């Protein structure tokens, strides 16, 4: 049986660092949005607060971000993992989400995520599921949808 749940999250903190740029070795800066004409690789440590079906304060997330070469409509992609500790529809525990997404030159982010098999604990042991979100630049919170089951 699959359960569908929804909610929203907000970014509590975003710490980003440039790792490398085409033609350079990385400037150590923290503003990925200022990409030059070539691709750039960055990492970000992010803290989110979830409400709704997932209730979790202060998740821990790490992203690897690729800022693409400047092409109309394109900006880049990212992958990452997020440790979520809290409740899922009232069941307490923790789990890890593997996340993958893209973002465009207007700052709209599209992400899909999946529970990492074997990562769930507590009342969420055996959790499996997939979901996603679309974040629009400047919006204060991001709506998510999550379909899951428990073994």
For residue range 96-131, list pLDDT tens digits in order: 999 999 999 888 999 999 999 999 999 999 999 999
Between 97 and 151, name the one with better pLDDT: 97
Backbone angles phi, psi at 32, to 5 degrees: -65, -25
For residue range 46-93, list pLDDT tens digits in order: 999 999 999 999 999 999 999 987 766 668 999 999 999 999 999 999
Cβ 65 vs Cβ 50: under 8 Å: no
pLDDT for position 101: 97
Tell me the whole-structure pTM to 2 decimals: 0.87
Taking the C-alpha atoms of residue 42 and residue 73, their distance in angstroms, rounded to an integer, is 20
């Amino acid at each position: 049986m699959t359960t569908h749940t929804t909610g929203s999250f907000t970014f509590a903190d975003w710490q980003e660092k440039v790792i490398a740029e085409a033609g350079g070795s990385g400037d150590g800066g923290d503003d990925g949005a200022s990409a030059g004409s070539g691709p750039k690789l960055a990492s970000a440590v992010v803290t989110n607060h979830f409400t709704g079906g997932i209730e979790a304060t202060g998740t821990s997330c790490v992203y690897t971000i690729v800022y693409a070469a400047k092409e109309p409509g394109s900006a880049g992609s990212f992958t990452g993992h997020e440790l979520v500790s809290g409740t899922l529809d009232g069941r307490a525990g923790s789990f890890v989400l593997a996340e993958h997404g893209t973002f465009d030159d207007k700052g709209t982010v599209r992400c899909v995520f999946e529970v990492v098999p074997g990562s769930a604990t507590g009342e969420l042991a055996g959790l499996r599921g997939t979901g996603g979100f679309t974040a629009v630049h400047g919006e204060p919170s991001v709506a998510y949808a999550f379909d899951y089951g428990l073994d």
